[in-house]
Amino acid sequence: MRRLKNPVTYCLPKIRFFHHFISIPINKNYLKMAQPSKDPTTDFADSSSSTKANNDATTTPQKNAFTELMKPKPPSPPKKDHSQRSTHTKTENAVLIKDLYPKATVHLLLLPRSPTHNLLHPHDAFADPQFLSMIREEASSAAKLAAAELSRIIGPFSKSNKARDEAMDLGQIPYDKLPPGRDYLKEIKVGIHAHPSMDHLHVHIISRDMRSEKLKGRNHYQSFCTPFFIELEHYPLDENDQRRSSRYHNGNLRKDFVCWRCGKEFGNKFSVLKKHLEEEFEEWKNE
């Protein structure tokens, strides 16, 4: 059973999502689990507001909503209303947040709470069938949220949706004979990075487009668009799966760029790829 590099730096006594400024109590929290959890916060906020809070002039001691965010919750309210303010949800088993540096139009992170799995490499964490099953359910819900968010953003451009709307406006056509609207769930990928940089287990829920200001480097793209990205559905990995090999994944990151949509190659020309992704987005959103 592997452990991630530098666990001390990253994991004790807390795990930090750098630049997300979310603290996720693990060990202390683990001790508290037997005790009644006190003052469970019900606030919603996205991860970036932590940064804003830090910039506030108020120096009075104030609760950091994110320090509390990951506390195990009593099973009472299994889901949270995710209003217009935030797509985040908290369940008994996991927290869902927006990636503060989204690498595509929609990019969420699913963070399991389980302190016995949080610090494991995904291969090992997902080797536990019960845990895997639980995460799959959470991820499935998360993917639906992501699809809804994607639909909200690019739905108005969709030719499929437009055809359906027009047919619907005509009336006369039975509901199950209408042309189907676009299925945005198909545009959502769910999986993990073979070599996560952050020790805390995190599942990416991300739209395919890879169009984002925050997409700044080679690995940003390659880590989502090569086998370096391992879909949650592929777990548990076979003992002999080559995706267990570090060498293999270093190779993936170093491959030439290939457009996820049309297959065009871009060598190592990241900025050319990025321009191309912008063009692809313009077509993709219209599908």
Looking at the Cβ atoms of 79 and 275, the one nearer to Zn ion is: 275
- 260 sits near DNA (criterion: CB under 7 A): no
CB of 269 to DNA, least distance (A): 5
- Candidates 10-18, 38-46, 164-172, 173-181; binding stretch for DNA (CB under 7 A): 10-18
Q: Is 268 in the site for DNA (CB under 7 A)?
A: yes
Q: What angle do CA 34, 35, 36 make, to 5 degrees?
A: 125
C-alpha 64/C-alpha 232 separation (Å) is 31
Distance of CA 75 to CAs 37, 72, 94, 136, 226, Å? 12, 9, 12, 18, 38
21 belongs to the binding site for DNA (CB under 7 A): yes
Nearest distance from C-beta of residue 162 to DNA, angstroms: 34
261's contact among Zn ion, DNA, none, with CB below 5 to 8 A by partner kind, is Zn ion
Residue 19's binding partner among Zn ion, DNA, none (Cβ under 5 to 8 angstroms by kind) is DNA
User: Any residues with CB less than 8 A from the CB of 52 and at least 6 apart, and which?
Assistant: none
> CB-side exposure of 220: number of CA atoms within 13 Å?
19
Secondary element (H or E) of residue 15: strand 14-17
**Is 244 a residue that touches DNA (CB under 7 A)?**
no
Q: How many CB atoms lie within 10 A of CB 58?
A: 7
* CA 111/CA 70 separation, integer angstroms: 9
Binding window for DNA (CB under 7 A); candidates: 11-19, 36-44, 149-157, 232-240: 11-19
Of residues 12 and 262, the one with the C-beta less far from Zn ion = 262
Q: Which one of Zn ion, DNA, none is in contact with 33 (Cβ closer than 5 to 8 A by kind)?
A: none
3-state helix, strand, coil in the chain (%, to 5): 40, 15, 45
CB of 68 to DNA, least distance (A): 13
Task: Pick left, alpha or beta for residue 50 (phi over 0 → left; psi -120 to 50 → alpha; otherwise beta).
Answer: alpha
Which C-beta is closer to DNA: that of 3 or that of 79? Answer: 3
Binding residues (CB under 5 A) for Zn ion: these are 259, 261-262, 264, 280
Position 12 contacts DNA (CB under 7 A): no
Nearest 5°: the CA angle 274, 275, 277 is 65
The contacts of residue 153 (CB under 8 Å, 6+ apart) are: 105, 106
Position 252 contacts DNA (CB under 7 A): no
* Footprint (CB under 7 A) of DNA, residues 138-197: 193, 195-197
Chain centroid to CA 245: 23
Q: Rule CB under 7 A: say whether 222 interacts with DNA.
A: yes
The least distance separating DNA from the CB of residue 276, rounded to whole angstroms, comes to: 11
Q: Is residue 245 a contact point for DNA (CB under 7 A)?
A: no
**Which of DNA, Zn ion, none binds 262 (CB below 5-8 Å, type-dependent)?**
Zn ion
Our finding on whether 27 is near DNA (CB under 7 A) is: no
User: Which residue, 82 or 261, has its beta carbon nearer to Zn ion?
Assistant: 261
Residues lying near DNA in the complex (CB under 7 A) are found at: 14, 16, 18-19, 21, 23, 54, 64, 101, 103, 193, 195-198, 202, 214, 216-224, 228, 249-250, 253, 268-272
